[in-house]
Chain A
Amino acid sequence: MPRLKYGWTTLALASALAVAGWAVPAPASAQTVKIGVITDRTGNAAFYAGQIETGLNLALKEINAAGGVNGQKIEILYEDDQNKPDLSATKARKLVGEGAVVILSISSSTTTQQAQSVTLETKTPHIAPANSADTLTTRLDNPYFFQMGPLGSDQMRTLINYTGKRFKKVALLSDSTGLSTLTAKDFKNEMTKAGIEVVVEQVIEIGATDVVPQLQRIRAANPDAIVVAAISIAEVTLFFRGYHQLGLKYPVLASYNLSVPAYLDLAPNLLNGTFFVDVFDPDKVQAKQFIDKYTAEYKKAPFGLPAFGYDAVYFVADAVKRAGSSTDKEKVRQAIADTKNFVGVIAAKDTALGFPPNKRTGYPPKGSVIRVIENNKHGKVVSSGY
């Protein structure tokens, strides 16, 4: 039928256009160390990823100003995965095609997971600087993937170490996002192991307009403390508002997601007294230097997330230097896996990043700190490790 034939012609034309875009291989560019970064610029993890990017860019600038790595400059190639898992996989492929020797995933844990299927297939070193889901290294046996964020289980152990035997039964609060569900699961496992009973669990739906009935349930169960594994800003704000609205007084313990200062702006003075896990100790020597450099560059104070980005680039640069090559992915992977005692800005004093043999989680298990929110600011470190 003529109609269909022209339909095919159109498809053919469109396809030809597409082919023009990709069949032509990328030109071999000047020798640079290409780091591919999968970020979220436009989805609902954009806020966090953007903060990490500031750290990445600062490190990039510093390293290149000092001459680069092995005589080559570093180039960061950014791709936006819009916090969509299948798009993340596609972007990973794109970066590999463009010659990235290492891929950094700074979007959410769920998208990092899917990008792994590509990095495994293409044998490309893949690092998640800040993701904390325990399952990232356990559900898929991908020797090319390394995780540098504080594992949910270690966060909880650090919290339990601080609270000691004070809290026997707790309420566990999460939201319906993928990351929060995973974090809550990690938290619950650790608490059960430590003999702490989770007497009530509540999930705040994304888009909820108030959490009074859910907080009433928590109140009815009369826990010793509330553990917050919720991460989505609107829902966490709802929780703190509701908490004050009902006049609750339970101690609040939170995951490292609350180390992002944004919550302080959106629920001013409602978080005072909350204990949270952090990866950033502002008294650490490296952290102090970083604060100075960052403030000079961006005119505002940094916190955990930009520090993760900053450390990530230095980490990769260090591995590439030891590998002696900016294109041999196997050598780079081995260099990453061999990393021990990398002291960065993140993590508690006297701890270092590194991978124990046969493990691909690099954040020191005892490297988290507990801080408290005072006067609507991140207060001092009250406990470290476990």
Chain B
Amino acid sequence: MTDAFELLMSIGEAASIYALVALSYMLVLRPTGIINFAVGEWALLGAFLSVSTVVTLKLPYPLAVLLVLAGVGAIAWLTERLTIRPMVERAAPLMTLILLMLAVDIVYREAAVWGYGTANHFAPMPFGSGRVEFGPFGGSTQSLVVIAATVLVFAATWYFFERTVQGKAFEAVAIDRTVASLMGINLARVTALSFFAAGAVAGLAGMLQAPLTTASYLMGLPLTIKGFSAMVIGGAGRVEGAVLGGLVLAASERLVLRYAPVPSAFAIAIPLLLLIIFLLVRPTGILKAKGAA
């Protein structure tokens, strides 16, 4: 029985990271239509920045979190300002924007390698690496931290979109850019803010993962693929889709690893296969967007 509950914790932790990355995708996708190749590298930057702030500069953890969120958010915002905005103003085709993010993604990664090298970097867990047990559940303290942080972020996001005027503005832009601007919503500001938020969320995901796996220059691409898979599976139309997609992806990965009679090496292929299947069979994901037919 311990197995099942430990697995649940493990699934929760992985689902959280995937959900955060999927959310980052959505925050950019919904208002602008751009699918952001660079999400994994934003997480990577968050991971490395957390190493710099916590390990090198030995700053207190809450301050480090703020710096990482602000830092990656700022980098994301700057990228939008310098590369995306001018191209959007020139009415560049969507494909060009996506390719741009691919190139920028490589730039981020190589800049990180320049600064931090190709070796792995240690990131400490903020609350220690002990084993926690409450009732039948057991897991590491870091799993709890990850899950708790994710719940917070999603609660805040839900509140933002459902209860605030700015959130409604976002939704309006997502539904129809032209009409939204005609209604007086400042498109440029919404886009800039969405990039900043997407960067911060991805950076947080990286910061949460770094203590678990060490910060490494290779950690970006798997997150890009898995986060995108989570978004596709759950449905890109709603924020809840990120959570659902993350859970489905994490659960299938972990359960196959634990119980399926296939060699564990094939477990790598699960997110990839799920992605391909969903793209072909149900690209809108499990949850439909609100108001969709």
A: which residues have CB within 8 A of B? 42-44, 46-47, 176, 201-210, 212-214, 216-217, 220, 233-234, 237-238, 241, 244-247, 262, 265-268, 270
Contact = CB atoms under 8 A, between A and B. Distances in A.
Contacts of B212: 209-210, 238, 241
B10 interface: yes
Given A217-B257, A265-B122, 5 more contacts: A44-B218, A47-B119, A203-B264, A217-B264, A220-B3
B7 A216 contact: yes
A50 to B, nearest CB: 8
How large, as a class, is the contact surface on chain B? Answer: 35 or more
Interface in B64-122: 113, 117-122
Given A241-B140, A245-B139, A213 B122 contact: no
A203 B263 CA distance: 8
Sorted from nearest, which 3 A-B pairs have the closest CB atoms?
Answer: A207-B222, A213-B258, A212-B10
Given A209-B14, A209-B17, A209-B209, A266 B129 contact: no
Contacts of A237: 120, 213-214
A330 to B, nearest CB: 38
Contacts of A241: 129, 140, 212
Given A176-B265, A217-B258, A207 B219 contact: yes
A206 B264 CA distance: 12
Nearest to B140: A245
Given A207-B219, A241-B212, A214 B257 contact: yes
Given A207-B218, A210-B14, A176 B268 contact: yes
Contact of A234 (B7, B120, B129): B120
Given A203-B263, A209-B17, A233 B219 contact: no
Contacts of A233: 119-120, 214, 216
A234 B3 CA distance: 24
B209 to A, nearest CB: 6
Contacts of A42: 113, 118
A210 B13 contact: yes
Contacts of A238: 212-213
Nearest to A219: B3
Contacts of B222: 207
A234 B257 contact: no
A232 to B, nearest CB: 9
Interface in B15-72: 17
Contact of B119 (A46, A208, A212): A46
Given A212-B7, A216-B258, A205 B129 contact: no
B177 interface: no
A237 B123 CA distance: 11
B103 to A, nearest CB: 20
Contacts of B255: 213
A266 B10 contact: no
Contacts of A214: 257-258, 264
B122 A244 contact: no
A7 to B, nearest CB: 23
B275 to A, nearest CB: 15
B209 A213 contact: no
B1 to A, nearest CB: 12
Identify which of B118, B131, B209, B255 gathers the most chain A CB atoms within 10 Å of its CB.
B118
Nearest to A45: B118
A260 to B, nearest CB: 11
Contact of A212 (B6, B113, B120, B263): B6
Given A213-B255, A217-B258, A234 B17 contact: no
7 contacts: A44-B118, A209-B13, A209-B14, A210-B213, A212-B7, A233-B120, A262-B119
A263 B7 CA distance: 26
A238 B219 CA distance: 14
B238 interface: no
A235 B9 CA distance: 19
A28 to B, nearest CB: 37
A297 to B, nearest CB: 21
Nearest to A205: B268
Contacts of B209: 209
A42 B7 CA distance: 37
B214 A246 contact: no
B180 interface: no
B248 interface: no
A352 B14 CA distance: 49
Nearest to B124: A268
A241 B254 CA distance: 17
Contacts of B10: 210, 212-213
A217 to B, nearest CB: 6
Interface string B200-228: 00000000010011101011011000000
Contact of A266 (B138, B214, B258): B214
A284 to B, nearest CB: 29
A191 to B, nearest CB: 18
B11 to A, nearest CB: 9
Nearest to A209: B14
A267 B214 CA distance: 9
B289 interface: no
B267 interface: yes
Contact of A213 (B117, B129, B213, B257): B257
Contacts of B122: 265-268
Given A241-B129, A245-B131, A216 B139 contact: no
B18 to A, nearest CB: 9
B131 A209 contact: no
